[in-house]
Amino acid sequence: MNKPKIALTIAGTDPSGGAGVMADLKSFHACGVYGMAAITSIVAQNTKGVQHIHNLDPQWLEEQLESVYDDELPHALKTGMIASKPMMELIQSYISKHPEIPYVIDPVMLAKSGDSLMDDEGKKNLKSILLPLATVATPNIPEAEEITGLTINNEADVYKAGHIFINEIGSKGVVIKGGHANDDKQNSTDYLFTKDEVYKFTEPRYDTPHTHGTGCTFSAVITAELAKGKSIHEAVQKAKKFIAMAIQYTPEIGKGRGPVNHFAYMKKEGLDDE
């Protein structure tokens, strides 16, 4: 039996299971990749919002990463919620030591409930420390606006923001997600920018409030596919279809914005017999 490919997530928790490392590990599993996780923050949250955030001491994160990297290197890694500059610099050191390992960054700044997960200083540090190392960054439109300083109202603005990520910040690839766009009520279009190409991925837009954890899930699927050796284009294409189905078949859990269905794609492809 061949050893499985390994994906590592470095992020915060979600005890309701819809976002953070919980969503990442489910997504890795659904893509046939073995998941590992290092925790940055313990977050008390549910579908109604974020109640408390307890950021871990950076030394605790370092101990987790030492344990992982001393035993088995991941084939790809992603970061989600990162609490502090020391944590970012620590993660930067591991990425720099292993530049051959693809790195996906989900620049988490706001929860779906609207609760802030990062202050202004944290946003600046993310831009200068980690985004330049990204194989793929996956900001939604509000996050892309925060990072680039632009106001994004149309496709031309999306292109301007994408080029800032690639040509000024230094990310190898960036997906600016169109879920927050208001110009198309029927479809959602994501834009993938690389140094040489721009790709558009469009899927139907579903009328549901249950979108908790979409950003985590989308970036986790990209990470899993890169771990399997897929190209950036292939990884994003799979992630777009995966998240569309996850939203279409949401399990409608909770009293607020419920989670997406991390196993909808798996069942559709016949990978789950149940």
Model confidence pLDDT, tens digit, residues 188-221: 899 999 999 999 999 998 989 999 999 999 999 9
- pLDDT recorded at residue 189: 94
pTM recorded for the entire structure? 0.94
Whether 31 sits among the annotated catalytic residues: the reply is no
Whether 213 sits among the annotated catalytic residues: the reply is yes
Q: Distance of alpha carbon 177 from its chain centroid, rounded?
A: 11
Q: Which residues of the chain have pLDDT under 50?
A: 273-274
Catalytic residue among 194, 211, 223, 250: 211
**Residues paired with 192 in a beta bridge:** 175, 199
Beta strands in the chain (DSSP E): 6-11, 34-39, 41-46, 49-55, 76-79, 103-105, 136-137, 173-176, 187-194, 198-204
Whether 162 sits among the annotated catalytic residues: the reply is no
- pLDDT recorded at residue 274: 40
Catalytic residue among 9, 215, 240, 250: 215
Sorted by where each starts, the structural domains of the chain and their CATH numbers stand as: 6-262 (3.40.1190.20)
Whether 214 sits among the annotated catalytic residues: the reply is yes
Catalytic residue among 9, 26, 162, 216: 216
Catalytic residue among 5, 213, 228, 238: 213
- pLDDT recorded at residue 273: 42
Whether 20 sits among the annotated catalytic residues: the reply is no
- pLDDT recorded at residue 158: 96
Catalytic residue among 138, 189, 214, 223: 214
- pLDDT recorded at residue 267: 76
- pLDDT recorded at residue 228: 98
Amino acid 5 reads K
Catalytic residue among 177, 228, 230, 238: 177
Whether 177 sits among the annotated catalytic residues: the reply is yes
- pLDDT recorded at residue 252: 92
- pLDDT recorded at residue 253: 92
**How crowded is the C-beta side of 198, counted as CA atoms within 13 Å?**
14
- pLDDT recorded at residue 115: 59
- pLDDT recorded at residue 56: 95
Distance in angstroms (rounded) separating the CA atoms of residues 2 and 48: 42
